C-alpha cells in the first residue's frame, strides 16, 4: 500500500507574512516576468470584479445569492495557473474566481449575474452556475458537495480517453461532511483517478466555524488517509506556495493517475453571501487581521515589488485597468437584453434543441 504523502505541519501556516519561502520553487522560478505579472493581474481582476459586484448587488440588479471570492483569490489563481489542455475544473457556488481564471470574460460573468441573455449561461444559471466547457470549466454547482462525484467522473473520462490530464474538484470546508464527497474520495482512490480535490478552507460554512462543523484530527485533508490518498495543506494566502504544492498533486495526477486532497487555508472577507449580515459568528478584528496581514493579492504584490517584477506604476495601471474592465462589464450587463419568454423552454433537452432525422425521441416533452 502506498504511503500517503504528509508534507506540511500546520504551524508553518501561522508564520507571519514575509517573502515567500516558495519563491525559489522551480514552478515559480520558471515563471517569466510576464507570467508573474499576468498572474498578479488575474488576481487583481478577480478582486475588482467581485468588488464591482457588490455595488451592482446593492443597486438591486443581482438576484438571489451572491457569494464573493474576495480574500480567496490565491487559491483559484495559484492552482489554475498550473493547468493545461487536459486539466478540468469544477467547483461549488463560489465560482467567479475560477471562471475568471480559466479565461471567462468579465462581461459574460457580470451579465450572468444580472440574468441577461449575454451571460455565460444565457441568464439561466446565475451567480452559482457559471459554465465554460470550452475552457474545461464545468461549473458552478449550487448543492454543497454535489460536484465532487462529477469531478471524479470528469477525471474518469480523462483517464478513459488516455489523456494526461486531471480534474480539479473544489469544495468548501463545510462540504467535506457531505456523503457524496466521501463517496467520490473512495472512488477516486479505488480507481486511481487523476482528481485533485481542493478543500478551500475559509474557516466557515455560512455561520458555522470549521471547529463547530467537523470532527477531525487537526486538519480536514487528513481524512484522505482513510481512503489511502495523498494529501497536503497549503497556506492559501501565498500564491507561490499554492503553486508549489499544487504542482506535486498535479504531477501525481498526470504521471501516476492518482488523486490528492489539498486543503488550502484561506479566508473570505465578506459574508457567506450578500444575504449574510456577518454579525453573529466572527468578530471584525479577525477579518481585519486577515485583511491587514494575509491579504493574498497584497502579499503577492509585495513579493513582486521585492523581485522588481512590479513597479508601483505598474501596480497602479494594472489595478486601474481591472477596475475599468469591471466598470465596462457592469455597463455591458446593464445594457444587455433579457432572455425572451420563449427562452424559458430552450436548452432543456439536447434532442429538442438539435432536431434531425436521426433524433432518438419524439412526442410531447414540454408540458402545458
Which residues lie near Mg ion (CB under 5 A)? 172-173, 202, 205
By CB under 8 A, residue 297 contacts another protein: no
The single residue among 12, 33, 59, 143 that binds another protein, judged by CB under 8 A, is: 143
Residues between 178 and 197 with contacts to another protein, criterion CB under 8 A? 179-180, 183-184, 186-187, 190
Q: Grid coordinates in use for 24? A: 525559489
Per residue in 100-139, is it b (16+ CB within 10 Å) or e — as a string? Answer: bbbebebbbbbbbbbbbebbbbbbbbbbbbbbbeeebbbb
162 binds, among Mg ion, ligand TPP, another protein, none (CB under 5 to 8 A by kind): none
Taking the least distance from each CB to another protein, the nearer of 30 and 356 is 356
* Residue 124 interacts with which of Mg ion, another protein, ligand TPP, none, CB < 5 to 8 Å by class: another protein
Provide the minimum distance between the beta carbon of 266 and another protein in the complex, in angstroms, as a whole number.
Answer: 25
For residue 131, the minimal CB distance to ligand TPP (Å) is: 17
Q: What DSSP designation does 288 have? A: H
Q: How many CB atoms lie within 10 A of CB 4?
A: 20
The yes or no reply on residue 126 touching ligand TPP (CB under 6 A) is no
| Beta carbon nearer to another protein, 138 or 240 | 138
Shortest CB 321 distance to Mg ion, Å: 31
Q: Which residues, at least 6 apart from 114, have a Cβ–Cβ distance to it below 8 Å?
A: 56, 61, 62, 333, 334, 336
Measured from the CB atom, is 143 or 365 closer to ligand TPP? 143
Q: Is 167 a binder of ligand TPP (CB under 6 A)?
A: no
The yes or no reply on residue 174 touching ligand TPP (CB under 6 A) is yes
Stretches 40-48, 54-62, 136-144, 345-353: which one binds ligand TPP (CB under 6 A)? 136-144
The one among 125, 172, 174, 194 contacting another protein by CB under 8 A: 125
| Helices within 59-121 (DSSP H only) | 73-80, 96-102, 106-113
91 binding ligand TPP? (CB under 6 A): no
Contact flag: residue 236 with ligand TPP (CB under 6 A): no
Start-to-end CA distance of the chain, whole Å, equals 57
- Rounded to whole angstroms, how far apart are CA atoms 231 and 208? 24
Contact yes or no for 333/114 (Cβ under 8 A): yes
Binding flag, residue 275, ligand TPP (CB under 6 A):
no
With 0-12 / 13-18 / 19 or more C-beta atoms within 10 angstroms meaning exposed / middle / buried, residue 32 is exposed
Taking the alpha carbons of 305, 310, 313, 316 in that order, is the dihedral positive or negative?
negative
CA–CA distance, 20 with 22 (Å, rounded to integer): 5
* Binding residues for another protein restricted to 323-362, rule: CB under 8 A: 346-351, 353-354, 359-362
* Residue 175 interacts with ligand TPP (CB under 6 A): yes or no: yes
Smallest CA-to-CA distance from 229 within 195, 199, 178 is with: 195
What is the closest distance, in whole angstroms, from the C-beta atom of residue 231 to Mg ion in the complex?
Answer: 18
Count of residues of this chain found to bind another protein when the rule CB under 8 A is applied: 59
* Residue 67 Cβ vs another protein, minimum distance, rounded to whole Å: 16
198 near 233, Cβ under 8 Å?
Answer: no
From candidates 92, 119, 259, 296, binder to another protein by CB under 8 A: 119
Asked if 31 and 39 count as a contact pair (C-beta separation under 8 A), the reply is: yes
Residues that bind another protein (CB under 8 A): 88, 90, 119-125, 129, 131-134, 138-143, 146, 148-158, 160-161, 167, 179-180, 183-184, 186-187, 190, 346-351, 353-354, 359-367
Amino acid at each position: 500500500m502506498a504511503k500517503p504523502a504528509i508534507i506540511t505541519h500546520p504551524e508553518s501556516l501561522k508564520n507571519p507574512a514575509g517573502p515567500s519561502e516558495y519563491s525559489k520553487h522551480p514552478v515559480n522560478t520558471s515563471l517569466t516576468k510576464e507570467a508573474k505579472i499576468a498572474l498578479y493581474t488575474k488576481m487583481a481582476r478577480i478582486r475588482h470584479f467581485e468588488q464591482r459586484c457588490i455595488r451592482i448587488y446593492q443597486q438591486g440588479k443581482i438576484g438571489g445569492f451572491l457569494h464573493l471570492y474576495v480574500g480567496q483569490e490565491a487559491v483559484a489563481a495559484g492552482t489554475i495557473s498550473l493547468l493545461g489542455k487536459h486539466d478540468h475544473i469544477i467547483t461549488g457556488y463560489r465560482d467567479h474566481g475560477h471562471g475568471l481564471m480559466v479565461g471567462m470574460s468579465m462581461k459574460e460573468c457580470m451579465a450572468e449575474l444580472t440574468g441577461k441573455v449575454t451571460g455565460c449561461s444565457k441568464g439561466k444559471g446565475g451567480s452559482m452556475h457559471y459554465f465554460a466547457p470550452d475552457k474545461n470549466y464545468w461549473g458552478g454547482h449550487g448543492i454543497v458537495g454535489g460536484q465532487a462525484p462529477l469531478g471524479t467522473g470528469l477525471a474518469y473520462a480523462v483517464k478513459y480517453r488516455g489523456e494526461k490530464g486531471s480534474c480539479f474538484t473544489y469544495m468548501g470546508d463545510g462540504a467535506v461532511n457531505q456523503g457524496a464527497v466521501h463517496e467520490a474520495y473512495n472512488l477516486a482512490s479505488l480507481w486511481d483517478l487523476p482528481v485533485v480535490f481542493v478543500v478551500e478552507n475559509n474557516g466557515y460554512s455560512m455561520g458555522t466555524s470549521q471547529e463547530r462543523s467537523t470532527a477531525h484530527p487537526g486538519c480536514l485533508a487528513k481524512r484522505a488517509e482513510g481512503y489511502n490518498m495523498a494529501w497536503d495543506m497549503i497556506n492559501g494566502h501565498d500564491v507561490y506556495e499554492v503553486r508549489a504544492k499544487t504542482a506535486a498533486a498535479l504531477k501525481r495526477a498526470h504521471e501516476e493517475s492518482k488523486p490528492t486532497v489539498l486543503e488550502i487555508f484561506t479566508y473570505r472577507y465578506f459574508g457567506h453571501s450578500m444575504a449574510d449580515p456577518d454579525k453573529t459568528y466572527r468578530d471584525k478584528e479577525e477579518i481585519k487581521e486577515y485583511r491587514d496581514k494575509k491579504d493574498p493579492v497584497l502579499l503577492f504584490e509585495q513579493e513582486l515589488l521585492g523581485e522588481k517584477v512590479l513597479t508601483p506604476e505598474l501596480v497602479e495601471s494594472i489595478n486601474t485597468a481591472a477596475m475599468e474592465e469591471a466598470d465596462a462589464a457592469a455597463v455591458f450587463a446593464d445594457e444587455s437584453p433579457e432572455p425572451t419568454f420563449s427562452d424559458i423552454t430552450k436548452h432543456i433537452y439536447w434532442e429538442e434543441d438539435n432536431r434531425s432525422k436521426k433524433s432518438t425521441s419524439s412526442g410531447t416533452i414540454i408540458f402545458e
